[in-house]
């Protein structure tokens, strides 16, 4: 459930520094797009091989975790009966275990079984098509009834999902329980794309998938890769601040771009598992920086679900580097954790002139 777009900022080459060659790869994956930039190492790497290894990994993960493919492991598990072990790849079990650990630390704000509620609110995989997205904007969808919400809640609950590593398998304890890894699979994928590059001898890279980013080494001009965080508005993209990423990852979650309106009320795509309804607090986006994208991607959405107060308390308790942007009557409020300040310092707000300088 990613919405906030992250833009790569490239500065001018440093004086006296000869810029190395940078290669850009791009394509479609996991219902979104990916962009990879890497600096060609001293020992040249065949670009076709890099592209091939990247596409092979993306295809493997798609077959395992995609909710868009009816033949993926997750989609077939979602159709399986309760109380039976369903064989899956070790990768799937690893991601489910990682998600469950975050679920426990957030009191259930992270719940990969929330799919029935997401579908009920018209934000499921089939509702992400251009046709149905347009229908939401055209106000053709109505909110579900209380009865429908309560019925869907009987089929969710991360503690109703069991894992087994040897041999790897999943088991649901209630009929109708489904797993959707979209809130963490991008991070897992990005980390393994980074591993692909490293195995090929590429140490200076930036990998972006669906707005989540991981960077290794430095940019071609010898400076750190810099990523800007977008202001959570429904209008034209506007950057809030930029941070350097050095062997680190950054993920952002927000509820501004995906929504539908009904009778003048806007419903966000961020669903609170505790209520079965879209969140309605002032917190508009959360950005999390971490050493791995799995961690950053796994934490940003549950912190957003928790809201401006509980979210920052949870982040501080777990030592997370996080930035919270809330929409308040007096304007946007930006708060950061101690770990964020230690990693990046105080937030430096970008004005429009500095944005133009960074973009050109």
Mean pLDDT check: name the lowest of 146-155, 263-272, 349-358. Answer: 349-358
- The residue segments making up the domain with residue 37 are 6-359
- pLDDT of the residue at 322: 98
pLDDT tens digits for 23-69? 999 998 888 899 999 999 877 789 999 999 999 999 999 999 998 89
Residue 234 in any domain: the answer is yes
- pLDDT of the residue at 331: 67
User: Which residue bears the tokens 């080459």?
Assistant: 13
Strand arrangement of the beta sheet that strand 6-9 belongs to: 6-9, 225-230, 239-245
Tokens of 232: 């959570």
Residue 13 in any domain: the answer is yes
Strands, E, within 147-220: which ranges?
161-165, 168-172, 205-209, 212-216
Residue 207 in any domain: the answer is yes
Residue 1 in any domain: the answer is no
Residue 219 in any domain: the answer is yes
Angstrom CA distances, 14 to 19, 222, 357, stand at: 8, 8, 15
- pLDDT of the residue at 8: 55
- pLDDT of the residue at 275: 93
pLDDT tens digits for 190-241? 999 999 999 999 999 999 998 899 999 998 888 999 999 987 766 666 788 9
Instruction: Please give the residue that has the higher pLDDT: either 129 or 124.
Output: 124
Mean pLDDT along residues 4-16 = 46
Question: Please, what is the average pLDDT of the chain?
Answer: 86
Question: What residues are paired with 248 via a beta bridge?
Answer: 215
- pLDDT of the residue at 32: 85
Percent of the chain with pLDDT over 70: 81
- Would you say residue 121 has pLDDT above 50? yes
- pLDDT of the residue at 356: 46
pTM reported for the whole predicted model? 0.88
- pLDDT of the residue at 286: 95
pLDDT tens digits for 162-200? 999 999 999 999 999 999 999 999 999 999 999 999 999
Tokens of 27: 């394509």
* pLDDT-derived band at 255, boundaries 50, 70, 90: low
- pLDDT of the residue at 319: 98
Residues found in the chain = 360
Residue 167 in any domain: the answer is yes
CATH number at residue 156: 3.10.520.10
Residue 71 in any domain: the answer is yes
Number of domains comprising the chain: 1
Tokens of 226: 């810099």
Candidates 312, 244, 203, 241; CA nearest to 4 is 241
* pLDDT-derived band at 263, boundaries 50, 70, 90: low
Residue 182 in any domain: the answer is yes
- Compute the distance between CA of residue 60 and CA of residue 193 in angstroms, rounded to an integer: 12
* DSSP SS3 for 352: helix
pLDDT tens digits for 79-99? 999 999 999 999 999 999 999
Instruction: Please give the residue that has the higher pLDDT: either 311 or 237.
Output: 311
Tokens of 62: 């798609």
* pLDDT-derived band at 348, boundaries 50, 70, 90: confident
Mean pLDDT along residues 141-145 = 84
């Amino acid at each position: 459930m990613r919405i906030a777009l992250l833009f790569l900022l490239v500065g001018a080459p440093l004086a006296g520094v000869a810029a190395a060659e940078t290669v850009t790869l791009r394509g479609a994956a996991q219902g979104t797009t990916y962009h990879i930039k890497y600096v060609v190492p001293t020992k040249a790497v065949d670009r076709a091989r890099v592209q091939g290894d990247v596409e092979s990994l993306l295809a493997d993960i798609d077959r395992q975790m995609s909710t868009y493919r009816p033949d993926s492991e997750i989609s077939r598990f979602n159709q399986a009966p309760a109380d039976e072990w369903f064989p899956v790849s070790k990768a799937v079990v690893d991601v489910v275990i990682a998600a469950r650990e975050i679920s426990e630390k957030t009191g259930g704000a992270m719940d990969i079984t929330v799919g029935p509620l997401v579908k009920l609110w018209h934000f499921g995989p089939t509702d992400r098509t251009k046709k149905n997205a347009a229908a939401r904007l055209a106000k053709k969808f109505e909110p579900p009834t209380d009865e429908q919400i309560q019925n869907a809640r009987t089929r969710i609950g991360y503690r109703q999902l069991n894992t087994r590593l040897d041999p790897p398998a999943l088991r649901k304890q209630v009929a109708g329980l489904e797993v959707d890894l979209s809130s963490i699979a991008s991070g897992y994928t990005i980390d393994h794309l980074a591993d692909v590059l490293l195995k090929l001898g590429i140490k200076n890279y930036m990998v972006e998938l669906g707005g989540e980013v991981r960077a290794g080494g430095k940019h071609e001009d010898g400076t750190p890769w810099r990523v800007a965080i977008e202001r959570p508005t429904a209008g034209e993209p506007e950057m809030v601040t930029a941070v350097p990423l050095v062997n680190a990852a950054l993920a952002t979650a927000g509820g501004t771009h995906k929504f539908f309106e009904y009778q003048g009320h806007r419903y966000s795509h961020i669903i609170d598992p505790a209520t079965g309804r879209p969140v309605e607090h002032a917190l508009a986006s959360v950005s999390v920086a971490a050493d791995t994208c799995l961690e950053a991607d796994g934490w940003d959405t549950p912190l957003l679900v928790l809201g401006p107060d509980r979210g920052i308390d949870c982040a501080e308790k777990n030592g997370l580097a996080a930035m919270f942007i809330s929409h308040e009557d007096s304007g946007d409020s930006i708060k950061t954790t101690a770990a964020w300040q230690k990693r990046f310092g105080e937030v430096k707000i970008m004005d429009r002139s500095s944005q133009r300088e960074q973009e050109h």
